[in-house]
Structure 1
Amino acid sequence: MEAPSMEVFPVGNGDMTLITTKNNKKILIDCYRKSGSDYDYLEERLRDRLNTDKEGRLYVDVFVLTHPDADHITGFDTMFHTGNPDDWSDKSKKIIINEIWSSPRVFRRASVKGANGNNSLCSDAKIFNKEAKRRVELYRETGSINDVGNRIIILSSDEDGKTDDIKPIVADLYTSFTDMSGIGDNSLNTFLLAPADKQDVAENEEELTKNNSSAIIRFDLDNTIYDEEHCYNLPYTHPVIISGDAEVKCWEVLHDKLKATTQLEELAYDVLLAPHHCSWRSLSNDSESKCDDPKLNESAHTALSFANKNALILCSSQDFGEVTPPSQLARGEYEKILKNNNGGKFLAVAEQGKDADGNPNSLIITFTEGKPSKATKAQINGFSKVSNPEAVKKDGKRTYA
C-alpha cells in the first residue's frame, strides 16, 4: 500500500489525468491522444501506469468523462475496448474500462442546436456515448451493476425523467456516491458538484453548451502517515477537485447553491485542476480581450478560493503566451488565492520540461507528509506498471437489492 498520487499528462489544451489511490485503484479522468506516431508516447506512458487482470488485459478501474469535447475524449477509440469485455482481442490489446462515470446531461445538451455550432460531437464522443448506453441498457436488463467491463455510474439524473427507472446507479448532486460504485476502495470518497440543472446554468436552449454542463467531482483520497514520535498512524484526507471545462456560470451556481445550504466547505481542496485549461472565462463574465478592465465574478471566484494550506493549483494547457487559454490573468488570480492560503503553489504541466526521449514530462503529484507535493525525479522513475492479476475478480457480481 503506497501513498495516493495523481498524474496530469502533457496533452496541451486538453485533459488526461490519472488518479491512483493508496489501494492502487486507477481512475482516469478524460483522455486526449492525437492520432499519429508522434503521440505514441502518451499511450505508452498511460499503459505503463496500469494494472493487468488475470486475463492479461490492462485496465482502468474507472474512466470519468467530464464532458465530450474533442480535447477531452479524442483517442478513446484508439486506446480503449468497447462492447462486451468477453470480446476483447489479444491482437488489439486495448485497455479495458471496468466502470464508467459520465452524465447523460452533457450529451443531451450537445444535441441542442445553436451555441454557435459548438455543441456537435466528435467521433470518439459518439463511440463513448454508445458504450455508455450499452452499459445502461445492460443494467436495465439485469438490475445489477454487473461485472467489470460492463459497469456504469450516471453523474446526476437525466432530464425529463429518463433515468427514473435506474436510480440505484444515478449519483445525486451534492452527495457522496462512491458506495454505489463497484470500485470497492475504502480509501476513496467522491462528491458530485456538477453538472447542475439546466434551468440553473442557462436562460435558453442555446446556452446549454457542453462546458456549462461539465461534471465537477471532488475526489477525497485517504492516506496514513506514521508518527514516529507517538508510534501510531495519522490519518489524512486529501480533497482533489477536477472540473473539465466548467465555466463561470457553473462556479457561480455551485457557490450560490452550497451557500444556501451551508455546504461551502465541500469546495475545500488540496489540489485543484484549474478549469478549462486556466481560462479567464471560469472566473469572469467579461471577455479578457474585449474589456479594458474585466471584472471577476465574485461567486465564481469565491467557489474556486477554498484552497487548504499547502494547496496546489495545476494547469493542463499549452504554454502561456498570447493565445488563451491559458490565461495569464487567470493564473495571477489563482496565485493570489494560494498566497492567501499559506504555502500553496501554481504548477503548469507545460513547464515541466522533457524526458530523455525529448517528450514532454507529465506533472505528477504525490500525497505524503500530510500535503500534496510535486514528485521528485526518483519518485517519477518509480511510476511504472505493477502487474496485479488479482485486481479483477469476475466471480461474484456486485448487485443491488
Structure 2
Amino acid sequence: MPDKQIHRIKFYPVSNGDTSQFILANGKRLIFDFNHRKTGEAVDSPHIDLKAHLKKELDDAGKNTVEVFALTHADTDHLAGASDFFYLNHASKYQGEGRVGIETLWVPAVMLLEKYRRNESHPEYAPWAEEAWHRLLEGKGVRIFSKPKELATQLTEELKKMKLSANSRDHLFTHAGEFVPEFSLDTDGMELFTHSPFADHKEDGTTVERNEESLMFHVRFSADGKTTDMIQCGDSEAEALEWIVAKTQKEKNDERLCWDLFNIPHHCSYLALNINGQKGDKKTVPLPKVKELLDFGRPGAYIVSSSFSIPDNNKAYEQTQPPHIQARKTYEDALDEIGGTAFLVTMEESTEKKQEPIEFEISSRGLKRTKIATATDKISAAAIITSNSAPRAGSDTYD
C-alpha cells in the first residue's frame, strides 16, 4: 500500500553556511536560513545556484510564496542574498515580479534590538530587522522567539504611539518550552517545540537573558501515525546546549531531546561540543549534557553537517575554523553507539557536475534518505577543499 503522507527535508550544499527546507505532505514549505553564493551563478560552476534552484522548486510546485522563512541566526552565512530573493513588505526596493513571498517570518528576538538594527557591518542584516519590525507593528506575518526586556520596552513605546496596548502583540511571540502555533500534528503532520532562545531563571530570582542564542527546535513529524523526530539547530554552542538539555530534563520533557535526524550546529565546529580551547587532538570530548543529547539519538539516525567537506588528514587536525575533524569523529562515535546510519556533509554528498541537496523522506516507514549519489559520482573531499577557500564561519563573505 502506498504511503498517504510523505514529508520531505532538504539540506542544500552552501559551503560553511545553512539552508534547509521542509516540504510537508500538505504542500506547506518552511525554508530555514539562506546562503546564496554568487559563484554558483556561472553556467559552468559546480556550485549550487541557490536562488535559481529554490525558485525552480517553487515554480514546479506552483508556488510563489513559502509558509515560513526562518532566520535561525543573524550571521551572513545564514542570510546571504536573501533580500534579493524574497519579497519584503516594508520597502519597494525589495519588491517586484519574481520574488518569493513569505507568509510568516521567524526570527530570534535579538534581531529586533536597536543596537543590532543599526549595525551597518552586516549588509543583509538591516532589511530583515526592518522587515521583522514592520510585520510586528502591523500585527501579522511574523513570529518572534523570546522577548527580552529591551525589546519589550521598545515595542511598548511604538505601540503607545499607535494608541495600542503593550500586550497587543503578545500573540506574535513564542518562548522556549512552547510549541510554535503555526503548525500542529493534526493539521500539518508536524509540530515544533522551541528550545532556544531562552531566559535562564536563577535561584535568587534574577533572570539572565540568553537571546544571543540561535533558534533551535525539536521537530516532530507524523506520517500515517508514525512519528519521526528531528533536532533543528542554528549556531548554538555547547554551553547553551548544556542548559537546554538540563532544563528540558528538569521539566520532564525528555522526549523533546530524542532525534532520528540531527542538523548539527555551527558547521561541525567543536564549539558545539565543548568550550573554547577544548577541541582535542584526535576527538572533542563533549560536555556531559551535550553527550546526553547525542545519546538521545535513535537506531538508524542520521547526522547532517552543513559545511565544507571534512577530510581526515594532518592539515584538517590543525584547522582553526570549522568544520573540525575532531568534532566529526565525536559525532561518528555517537552514531556508532546508538546504532545510527550515517554522518553526512552537505559539500561531500554531491556529484562532480553540479552540487545537489541531501534529501530525506519521512513516511509511515520512518526516515529514509533519497537521491543517494554513488561513490564514483561524489566530489572527493580533497577536490572540494581545493576548489573552496574556508572563510571564517559566520563571516560576511558573500562569494
TM over 0.5: yes
Q: Hey, what's the Cα distance between the residues in 2 that align with 1:46 and 1:137?
A: 29
SS in 2 for 1:238: strand
Q: Does the CA-based 8 Å contact 2:279-2:326 persist in structure 1?
A: no
**1:287 equivalenced with 2:277 (yes/no):** yes
Q: Which moved more, 1:236-245 or 1:3-12?
A: 236-245
- 1:195, distance to aligned residue in structure 2 (A): 0.8
Task: Give the aligned partner of residue 29 of structure 2.
Answer: 26
Of the three residues 169, 173, 184, the one matched with 1:170 is 173
Take 1:326 and 1:208, find their aligned partners in 2: how far apart are those partners?
A: 29
Q: Of 349, 367, 384, which residue of structure 2 is paired with 1:352? A: 349
User: 2:396: which partner in 1?
Assistant: none
Measured in 2, the distance between the counterparts of 1:185 and 1:340 equals 35
C-alpha contact (below 8 Å) 2:117/2:126 kept by paired residues:
no
Match of residue 244 from structure 2: 254
Taking the aligned partners of 1:182 and 1:81, their CA distance within structure 2 comes to 26
8 Å contact 1:287–1:294 — kept in the other structure? no
SS of match in other structure, 2:338: coil
Aligned 1:139-178 pairs, distance under 5 A:
139=139, 145=140, 151-160=141-150, 161-162=152-153, 165=167, 166-178=169-181
Contact 2:223 2:364 in 1 (8 A): no
Quote the offset at 1:257 in angstroms: 1.1
* CA gap 1:292/1:16 in 2 versus in 1, 3 angstroms: closer
1:8 matched to 2:11: yes
| Counterpart Cα distance in 2 of 1:40 and 1:274 | 21
Contact 1:21 1:221 in 2 (8 A): no
Q: Select 1:105's aligned residue among 104, 110, 121.
A: 110
> Counterpart in 1 of 2:190?
188
Distance between the aligned counterparts of 1:330 and 1:308, measured in 2? 20
2: CA distance, partners of 1:362 / 1:109: 36
CA contact (8 A) 1:274 1:314 kept: yes
Match of 1:385 in 2: none
Pick one of 54, 59, 64 that aligns with 1:46: 54
Change over 3 Å in CA distance of 1:89–1:277 after alignment to 2: closer
Secondary structure of 1:253's counterpart equals: helix
The answer as to 2:278 corresponding to 1:273 is no
State percent identity of aligned pairs.
20
Q: CA deviation at 1:264?
A: 2.3
The number of residues matched between the two structures is 340
In the TM superposition, 1:191-340 aligns within 5 A as: 191-197=193-199, 212-224=212-224, 235-288=225-278, 295-321=285-311, 322=316, 323=319, 324-340=321-337
Aligned partner of 1:390 in structure 2 is none
* Gap change, CA 1:109 and 1:348, over 3 Å in 2: farther
Alpha-carbon displacement from aligned partner over 1:134-159 (angstroms, at most 9, x marks no partner): 000101xxxxx3xxxxx111112233
Q: Cα distance 1:257–1:251, how it changes in 2: closer, same or farther (>3 A)?
A: same
Secondary structure of the corresponding residue to residue 113 of structure 2: helix
**Measured at CA, do residues 377 and 307 of structure 1 come closer, stay the same or move farther in structure 2, by a change above 3 Å?**
closer
| Residue 53 of structure 2 corresponds to residue 63 of structure 1 | no
Structure 1 gaps, min length 5:
114-118, 140-144, 146-150, 201-206, 225-234, 379-401
Q: Normalising by the residue count of structure 1, what TM-score does the alignment of the two structures yield?
A: 0.75
When normalised by structure 2's length, the TM-score is: 0.76
Q: Provide the residue aligned with 2:386 in structure 1.
A: none
Where 1:352 maps in the other structure, the secondary structure is coil
CA contact (8 A) 1:194 1:214 kept: yes
- The residue type equivalent to 1:365 in the other structure is F
Please, which moves more after superposition, 280-289 or 186-195?
280-289
